[in-house]
Structure 1
Amino acid sequence: MPREHYSELLALIAVARERSFTRAAAQLGISQSMLSHTIRGLEARLGVRLLTRTTRSVSVTEAGERLLRVVAPRLKDIESELRHVAELSETAAGTIRITATEHAIDTLLWPKLSEILPAYPKIKVELNSDYALTDIVQGRYDFGVRLGDGLTRDSSAVRIAPDLQFAIVGAPSYFASRAMPDKPQDLANHECINLRLPTRGNLYAWELKKSQSESNVRVEGQLVFNGIYQILNAALSGFGLAYVPEDLARPHLESGRLLPVMKSWWRKFPGYHLYYSNQHEISRAMQILIEALRYRK
C-alpha cells in the first residue's frame, strides 16, 4: 500500500471516530487544513463522498461506513503487530491513552505515574479527563478508569484504589437560615448542586445508603456542573449542598469550611479500577502501568 493511501485511511478513521476535523487533526498532529485536503483527496480518488460535513458536525456516509467496516479492523491488526514487534526490544516504549474522571486523574493516576515515568522515558501517556464513560474501544483508549460497580463484562480490570465514599456537604453560610436535613426526603427543600453526566444526558441521582436502606434521590438546585471540582467550589461558596468524594471534602470538613450533612446516609462504592478491552493486546508499556497502579493493601 502506498504511504499516502495509508495516511488517508488513518485520517478518515480519526475523523469518523472524533466526529470533528478539529479534534481529529489535533490527535493526528497535523493542521485542520491538511486533514481536510487529505480527506478530499481520498474522496476524489475513489469518486465517492465518504463524509457529510455541516457547520456543526461531521458524519460518515453509507460508502464511508462500508469502507471503515473493512479497513479499520485490518489497520488495527497491523498496528497491533507493529507494537508487538517493538515490544521485542528491551526498552518499554509507546503511547498509552487513558480516559478517567478528573478526580481519578488528580488524586490517583498522576501521583503514581509521576513517580514511575522518569524511569521509562520512551513511554508516553495521554490522560483524558472525561465523565462520559467513553467506550474505550471506540475511542481507541488503552485504559479506562471506573468505579468497580460500573465495569462491563467484556473488559478485564485491575483494582487501583480502595473503596470510595461519597459525602454530602454544605458550607456554614448556607445553613445560616436553613435547617440541617436528616433524611433523603428533606433534600427536596434544599438547594442541591447537580452533576450532569454527558453519556446519559441527564442529571446524576444521588445514590445514598443507610444500613440496608438505599435511596436514589433526584435533587434540584440553581446550579449544574459537569465536574466534581466545580461542584465542590460552589458548595464552599455557600450555593448549596454537594455530593462529592469524601477525600476531596475532608480537608474542608477538618477546617470547618464545610459541614457534614446526613452522614449516616453517605455511601461507599467499590474503588477505582483500571480496565481494558479483552480484545486489546497487552503491551509491555501497558503491563508496567498496570503494576504501577495496582492497589496493594
Structure 2
Amino acid sequence: MNRTQLSQLAVLASVAAHRSFRAAARELAIAPSAVSHAISSLEESLGVRLLARTTRSVAPTEEGRRLLDRLRPALDEIGIAVDAAIETRDRPAGNLRITAPRFASDVLLGPRLGDFLNLYPDITLEIANEDGFIDIVEQGFDAGIRFEESLEADMIAVRFSSDLRTVIAGSPEYFQRYPRPLHPRDLAQHRCIKRRFTNGTIYRWEFEKDGRELVVAIDGPLIVSEDRLSLLATLNGAGLGYLFDIRVMNELAEGKLIRVLEDWCPPYPGPFLYYPSRRQMRPALRAFIDFFKVSG
C-alpha cells in the first residue's frame, strides 16, 4: 500500500459512513469531484468494485464491506493518534533532546533539573554531553548549548548564562613549590593542565588585557578531555588549571584554590542555547528555553 491509497481509504470510509459523496466531501473539506476521483482511483488500483452507486444512493459492495470491517480499527487508531497530537500541541510533553558541553550540564542545568522536570512532568529530557559542535538537525537534537563563536549563522541563539570569566588557579600546595605567575608569558615556567578537544587539538590558553589579546601554548604533565577532571587535578596540586569561574567559586572562597593572572581574564559571554527555527516550535522546547534562559 502506498501513501496515496491511505488517503483514498479514508475517503472510502467517509463515503460509506455517510452513504453520500457530497456529505463525505463536506466532512473532508474537499470537492465532491475529488471524492469521486479518489474512489475511482482506489477501485482501479485494487481491481475491485468497492461502492455500489445509483442516482439516489451509495452503499458498499460485499468486497467494500469486508475491506471496511478490517480497515475501521486502523482508521480509528489513526484518528486517536491525530487527536492526541492536537490535544498536546499547546502542552509541553514528549521527548526533548539537548546536546551540551559537560560543564554546562554540571553547572547550568544540573542544579535546576529537578525543578524543571517537576514543573513539566510530561517531558522526558535527554541530555547528551559533547564538547564539539553538533549539527543538531542531522543528529536529531531539538537544541544545543555552545559558546557563541561555535554557532552557525542560520541558528537562533538565546542567552543561557550570565557572563563568564576564566580562572587560572593552583592549589596552595602547588604555590609552595612554584612562584605565582605575574604575566601569561611566565606560564612557560609552570606545569599547566592541558585540554584536548574532541577534534584532537590541544587548547591554547587565551588572555586579554587593555584590548590586547594573547594566546599562550602551555605545557605540562597532564592532558584531559573535560574540565571536571582538570578541576580535580588542580585541587590535587597537579598543576595550574584553566577553569570557568562558575565552576570554582566555592573552592576559591574556601582557599582550596589560589587565583592568578586575574587582570588578564576579563568577562566574556557565556554559552548560548541554539536551535534551527522558531516556526512551529515544540511546546517542550519553548518551556525549556523559558525556564533556563538568562533575561536581559
- TM over 0.5: same fold? yes
- Tell me, yes or no, if the aligned pair for 1:207 and 1:267 is still in contact at 8 Å: no
> C-alpha offsets along residues 80-102 of structure 1, whole Å, 9 cap, x if unaligned?
xx999725435421111111112
1:168-210 C-alpha deviation (Å, 9 max, x unpaired): 0011111222221111111111110011110x31111111111
CA pair 156-255 structure 1, distance change in 2 beyond 3 A: same
**What corresponds to 1:147 in structure 2?**
147
Which whole-Å CA distance do the structure 2 matches of 1:246 and 1:133 have between them? 22
Task: Answer yes or no: is the 8 Å Cα contact 1:169–1:235 preserved in 2.
Answer: yes
Name which one, 1 or 2, has greater alpha-carbon Rg.
2
Aligned to 1:126: 126
After superposition, what is the alpha-carbon deviation per residue over 1:242-266, rounded to whole angstroms, capped at 9, x for unaligned?
A: 0000122221111111111111111
C-alpha offsets along residues 18-63 of structure 1, whole Å, 9 cap, x if unaligned?
xxxxxxxxxxxxxxxxxxxxxxxxxxxxxxxxxxxxxxxxxxxxxx
* CA separation of 1:241 and 1:83: change in aligned 2, threshold 3 A: farther
2:255 alignment counterpart: 256
Aligned to 2:244: 245
Counterparts of 1:280 and 1:220 in 2: how far apart (Å)?
Answer: 47
Cα contact 2:146–2:273 (8 A) shared by 1:
yes
Aligned to 1:41: none
**Alpha-carbon distance change, 141 to 169 in structure 1, aligned in 2, over 3 angstroms:** same
The 8 Å contact of residues 112 and 292 in structure 1, kept in 2 or not, is answered as no
Whether 2:167 is the aligned partner of 1:164: answer: no
- Whether the 8 Å contact between 1:84 and 1:283 is mirrored in structure 2 is no
2-structure distance, mates of 1:282, 1:274 = 14
Q: Distance in 1 between the 2:106 and 2:157 partners?
A: 20
**Are the equivalent residues in 1 in contact too, given 2:107–2:246 (CA < 8 A)?**
no
The equivalent residue for 1:225 is 224
Root-mean-square deviation (Å): 2.2
Unaligned runs of 5+ in 1: 3-81
Q: What is aligned with 2:187?
A: 187
Partner SS state of residue 281, structure 2? coil
Q: Is the 8 A contact 2:91 2:284 kept in 1?
A: no
1:178 aligns with 2:182: no
After superposition, residues 87-126 of structure 1 pair within 5 angstroms as: 88-89=87-88, 91-126=91-126
Matched residue, 2:7:
none
Output the CA distance in 2 between the equivalents of 1:84 and 1:186: 67
Q: What's the secondary structure of 2:196's corresponding residue?
A: strand
Q: Is the contact made by 1:174 and 1:240 (CA closer than 8 Å) also made in structure 2? A: yes
Amino acid at match of 1:149: E
Letter matched to residue 112 of structure 2? K
Distance 1:91 1:162 in 2: 29
Unaligned runs of 5+ in 2: 3-80
Residues in 2 aligned to 1:245 and 1:146: alpha-carbon distance in whole angstroms: 14
- 1:136/1:177 CA distance change after superposition, 3 Å: same
Give every structure 1 segment of 4 or more consecutive aligned residues whose post-TM-superposition deviation is greater than 3 Å.
Answer: 82-85, 278-281
Secondary structure of the corresponding residue to residue 136 of structure 2: coil
CA separation of 1:185 and 1:213: change in aligned 2, threshold 3 A: same
Indicate the SS of the match to 1:194: strand
Code of the aligned partner of 1:154:
D
Tell me the distance in 1 between the aligned counterparts of 2:287 and 2:120: 9
**Partner letter of residue 292 of structure 1?**
F
Q: Describe the SS at the equivalent of 2:146.
A: strand
Give the residue type in structure 2 aligned to 1:211: D
Mapped partners of 2:93, 2:231: distance in 1 = 38
Matching of residue 138 in structure 1 with residue 138 in structure 2: yes
On the 8 A contact 2:133/2:150 being kept in 1, the answer is: no
Structure 2 CA distance for aligned equivalents of residues 244 and 84 of structure 1: 50
Residue-pair matches, total: 217
AA matched with 1:260: R
- Identify the residue that residue 8 of structure 2 maps to in structure 1: none
For 1:117, what is the secondary structure of its paired residue?
Answer: helix
Partner-residue secondary structure (3-state), 1:158: strand
